[in-house]
Structure 1
Amino acid sequence: MGRLCERCAQLIQDFTNLVRKFASRVAELFKECVAMLSECCCFNSKRSKLGHLYDPVLLSYEKQAAQELLNHMETGFYDVPVGNETLEALRIMASSETFELQNSAAIYYLHMSQHMNSQLPAGFLEPYLPLLQSSELEIQQLSSLSLVHFLLEGNLNKELVVQAGLLEPILDLLESGDAAVQCNSCACIMTLAISESNREAIGNAGGILPLLTLAKSYDPRVQQNAVGAILNLSRSERIKSILCREGALPVLTMLLQSADSEIQYYSCGSLGNIAASPEHHKAMLAIGDKFLLRMLVSLMSSSVQKVSSQACLCLNNLASSGEVRDHLFSMDVMPLILSLLHSSSKDVLQASITLLSTMSHSPEQMNAFLNEEMLRHLALLMQAEKGNTVFIVQVACTIQNLCHAENIEVIVQSPCFEELLLSLMDCDNEEESLQYLVSCIAELAQYEYTQEHLIKKRDKAFIKCLVRHSAFLEHQEVAFQAATVIKHLSHAGEFAVELKPFMNDVQAYLMSFLTHPEMRFHKIAIATLHFLCKDLDFLKAVPQSQMKELLEQKHQQTEETEELLRLIINQADKLNLNE
């Protein structure tokens, strides 16, 4: 073990002296007891046997147990693993009705929790039960504190703690009159509640109400850990319902006004988790006539970045409701959201762009805020966060939601539109990013202004990218949306020329679309062919017999299919005459 400071060295020495002194005293008391028993006439016939069986054996055992603990205290827990001898000694000491023995076991656990670099064997949880259930306040404090250390340092399997039967005594300690014990037990619950199975166990054991009571504690440490435990518990769908039923909503809402930023953060996070389930929205908004919304909007301006981002995320979950969005617009929240897009914190940026995307589901109210400055900043975000799926998806969703005739020119002329095109051509994009990007561009491409702009660009890299994605049917939605863009551009009349360098690939994906089991793929292929086959050069390159065969195989031919067949036959006749 490394060099200790004077205070730690003195504490270890004091503990060593205490154990030695007490072990010696226990041995003396036991010898006196045996001697007194041996003097009784009922034991006269067994005197020699008693002395032989108990006196040396128990004295040796006590010395061995004490020595085992001392060895680990002196050599540390780095190289010498705790063994069965240590465990047996702890069992005896922890189960003892004598304060000194129990206290020594609790101190030993605390020392272990501060110095162990490995997992605590599961068997060592057993002595914790009598320690946590001790009637002595000091033992409760020490044992609960060591358990917190083990859990926070990852030296204990969280599920094993519950399986070992320690949950009930931990919950009992929540009702202790001592703030230190309450603080430690709340911290234990907070850490245990990271596990889904443990969350269910805590809810079933009735742990919610005591935590809500402690969330109103006057001790800031207790209050903080209690609300932290509620945050982790609120990740369970069933626990969210229990929290609402037990009156958590007004408690958590009032805690948003706390002077402690950690309590604000935990409360905001808990409310955000509850708000993820729309069935709780009505109850949340009923508190003080939208008081929750006002508090969350206020916290968006918090100087503590994680509180600001958490407020945005909570509002985002609530804003899935059109009614909530209307209330937020009436509270003039948009300038605040746009100001957060300038934040230096990635968490705040991510939360604010997510909220902006959700607010854009009310485009008629968003139009007033759609301007060059907003689009320029979205472009800067995409440049700075290349490859970040969350940013790409949210920007693409925002633009797609705002795709209305009156907005198209300002969007297409903005640097944000150029960033959308560049992001689509990024080979490192994940499927989710690609899907939202190409869907957004497909939405924009249905407008003539966008079609003309893209055709004038004559960007071969962009066209090649569209064709490549259309042919990649492993990503069906990406392929469909990319093909939709090609169909819209083909409608412009001059696009067939741009597709000629990629003719084979275009034919291949159109053929695969015609044989796809989904009707929407048939329709997009037929519509695209309808426009492209008007170009003689394109038609000449198409294998007409194969195309005719595929079209004729369709059992239910639409008018468009029949028209396309007639077009192919007529154009083919013209080609034959020219030859």
Structure 2
Amino acid sequence: MGQLCGRCMQLLRDFTGFVQRMSSDLVQGIKECLTLISKCSCLKQNSSKNRQLYKPILQPHERVTAQEFLQHIETDFEMSPLGKDPLEALRTLSFSENLGLQQSAALYYLHMSQHMNIPLPVEHLEPFYALLRSADLEVQQMSSLSLVNFLLEGNIDKELIVQMGLLEPILDLLESEDPTVQCNSCACIMTLAVSESNREAIGAARGVTPLLSLANSYDPRVQQNAVGAILNLTQSEKIQQVLCKEGALPVLAFLLESPDSEVQYYSCAALSNMAANVQHHKALLRPSDRFLLRKLICLLSSSVDKQVSSQACVCLRNLATSVDIQAEMVAENVLPKLCSLLASGSEDVRRASIALLWILSQHPPNQRITESCCVEGLLQTMLLTDTQEDSLRYVTSCLAELAKQEGTMLHMVQWMDEPLTKCLMRLAGQLEHPEPSFHAASIIQHMISHEKMMLLWKHHIGEIQAYLKNFLTHQEVRFQQLGISTFCRLRADPDFSLAFRKSQMAKLLEQVRQQTEETQELLRAAMCHEDS
């Protein structure tokens, strides 16, 4: 730009002076206006009210109540913490606009929650509504923590919390920016959600969305309680639908990678509950992404928490409803990890791994089980498993199913020894546990033709005859048929044939035959009568 001439420079100086004079007059006018407004009586009254709103004065009755309440805390707390007078004082302090008084009430409840071992009367729940909605952060922290303590100790009826209208302020606290308040409110929801009616109420109040948000919290306490609350909510099929709609599945799946074993367990258990419902399998196992399947199998590793391993097994078992999914599990090398879990010192882990192996053994295409060390692991587990345990039924059922395959049966024979032979005999003879007894006898029947096994069986001719007699006279036809089949196979051996003749087993068989013929005649007569 070129240099201005003298005339233009003078015009600019004149313009600047004009603006300065105008600005000065404008500022002065604004100051005068504000001064006049500030001197008006109406503004003084309003400002007084505003100051009172934000810094409430101590009302006379509140001052008296606070003094009496302080005296009660100092002298009578241990004798009557739940008396009528303390309750009235708590109501006054809790609903006060003075935050200091609210803090006193919240502190009193916190103290009670840490020392009481009796139920909290329903009347004492009313002040919680005001305390949970307090504008003071410390009041929110203390009142929510005391509520958690009362719930955990069983001092408050969980359904009553919802009935008294406290669910709404608790859910509102989930939106707090303070981690302590978030942690406490999540713990409240987690505890309340053990009740079916409460789960429905939480879902209806749209409590799922904030919990899912807090499940991604950077604070480990908040995350643990949020995922724990989601776990309890998954016990409701109705809430499961809401969780799926709100996008809970990918959140829970990615939480399996959490470094926190408690978060891993809660998320894995929640997915197990979801996987128990077949309608969620499509969403859980997206064809283009087997992230969940691979992660669950990874969690079977013995390096992770045993409870997590057990829950991962349960989830995989719930997902293994189709041959295709089972084949994918086997292809992802699930069997070696299950072999390791069979030798675990944890009963829960062994039970869960056995249950998954049982499902995999039901389908011949999954017979890579034979090539793994799972057969040996199952046989050894049978020695360690107590007769009373449900897992024994899975162990014997799994081995009985595997023994039907010639290749697997030969593999089993290789591992059979005297302790395992005695175990099978003992189980077959314990008819008070019918399922393990039947499965053990079935394993024996499939192994009879092998030379090694015949040598082992001959040391137990007496035990074999004892359980066969029980089977032949059993009320269930399947036991009778298995007994007859086993008898026919063993009778081909001279030693067994001689023992059977001496024990009059043939006579017992004849009785069974006669009973069978009589039954058949009765059936024919019944059918003829039906036709006529």
For the aligned pair, the TM-score class normalised by the smaller chain equals: 0.7 to 0.9
Aligned residues of 2:471 and 2:483 also touching (Cα < 8 A): no
For the residue of structure 2 that corresponds to 1:386, the secondary structure is coil
Amino acid at match of 1:420: L
Aligned residues of 2:428 and 2:440 also touching (Cα < 8 A): no
Following the alignment from structure 2 to structure 1, what is the Cα–Cα distance between the partners of residues 198 and 126? 18
Moved more, 149-158 or 375-384: 375-384
Matches within 5 A, 1:93-132: 93-132=93-132
Following the alignment from structure 2 to structure 1, what is the Cα–Cα distance between the partners of residues 93 and 409? 78
Cα distance, 1:306 vs structure 2 = 1.7
Aligned residues of 1:439 and 1:481 also touching (Cα < 8 A): no
Amino acid at match of 2:118: S
Following the alignment from structure 1 to structure 2, what is the Cα–Cα distance between the partners of residues 471 and 539? 9
Deviation sequence 1:176-220 (CA, Å, 0-9, x none): 122111111001111111222222221122111111111112222
Following the alignment from structure 1 to structure 2, what is the Cα–Cα distance between the partners of residues 409 and 484? 24
Aligned residues of 1:276 and 1:318 also touching (Cα < 8 A): yes
Structure 2 unaligned regions, length at least 5? 1-55, 528-532
Cα distance, 1:387 vs structure 2 = 2.6
Amino acid at match of 1:484: Q
Following the alignment from structure 2 to structure 1, what is the Cα–Cα distance between the partners of residues 58 and 511? 106
Cα distance, 1:60 vs structure 2 = 7.1
For the residue of structure 2 that corresponds to 1:127, the secondary structure is helix
Deviation sequence 1:50-109 (CA, Å, 0-9, x none): xxxxxxxx9876655443344454x3xxx6562233222222222222212221111001
Pair 193,421 (structure 1): closer, same or farther in 2 beyond 3 Å: farther
Structure 1 unaligned regions, length at least 5? 1-25, 32-57, 474-478, 504-531, 559-579
Pair 467,96 (structure 1): closer, same or farther in 2 beyond 3 Å: farther
Query: Equivalent residue for 2:20?
Result: none
Quick check: 1:460 aligned with 2:429? Answer: no
Quick check: 1:483 aligned with 2:484? Answer: no
Following the alignment from structure 2 to structure 1, what is the Cα–Cα distance between the partners of residues 490 and 525? 28
Following the alignment from structure 2 to structure 1, what is the Cα–Cα distance between the partners of residues 172 and 118? 29
Query: Equivalent residue for 1:47?
Result: none
Query: Equivalent residue for 2:4?
Result: none
Cα distance, 1:269 vs structure 2 = 1.1
Matches within 5 A, 1:175-254: 175-254=175-254
Matches within 5 A, 1:111-190: 111-190=111-190
Query: Equivalent residue for 1:366?
Result: 367
Following the alignment from structure 2 to structure 1, what is the Cα–Cα distance between the partners of residues 471 and 324? 38
Query: Equivalent residue for 1:391?
Result: 391
Amino acid at match of 1:68: H
Query: Equivalent residue for 2:22?
Result: none
Pair 480,153 (structure 1): closer, same or farther in 2 beyond 3 Å: farther
Cα distance, 1:121 vs structure 2 = 2.2
Following the alignment from structure 1 to structure 2, what is the Cα–Cα distance between the partners of residues 153 and 203? 25
Pair 289,72 (structure 1): closer, same or farther in 2 beyond 3 Å: farther
| TM-score normalised by structure 2 residue count | 0.77
Moved more, 247-256 or 451-460: 451-460
Query: Equivalent residue for 1:514?
Result: none
Pair 103,502 (structure 1): closer, same or farther in 2 beyond 3 Å: farther
Task: Find 1:553's aligned residue among 522, 528, 532.
Answer: 522
Pair 121,438 (structure 1): closer, same or farther in 2 beyond 3 Å: same
Following the alignment from structure 1 to structure 2, what is the Cα–Cα distance between the partners of residues 140 and 198? 22
Cα distance, 1:226 vs structure 2 = 0.6
Query: Equivalent residue for 1:304?
Result: 305
Cα distance, 1:397 vs structure 2 = 2.3
Aligned length: 461
Query: Equivalent residue for 1:476?
Result: none
Aligned residues of 2:215 and 2:227 also touching (Cα < 8 A): yes
Deviation sequence 1:291-334 (CA, Å, 0-9, x none): 11111122211432222222222112112222111111111221
Percent of pairs with identical residues: 43
Amino acid at match of 2:319: L
Cα distance, 1:360 vs structure 2 = 1.5
Say what the alpha-carbon RMSD is for the aligned residues.
3.4
Cα distance, 1:548 vs structure 2 = 7.0
Deviation sequence 1:225-253 (CA, Å, 0-9, x none): 11111111112222222111110011111
- Which structure would you say has the larger Rg? 2
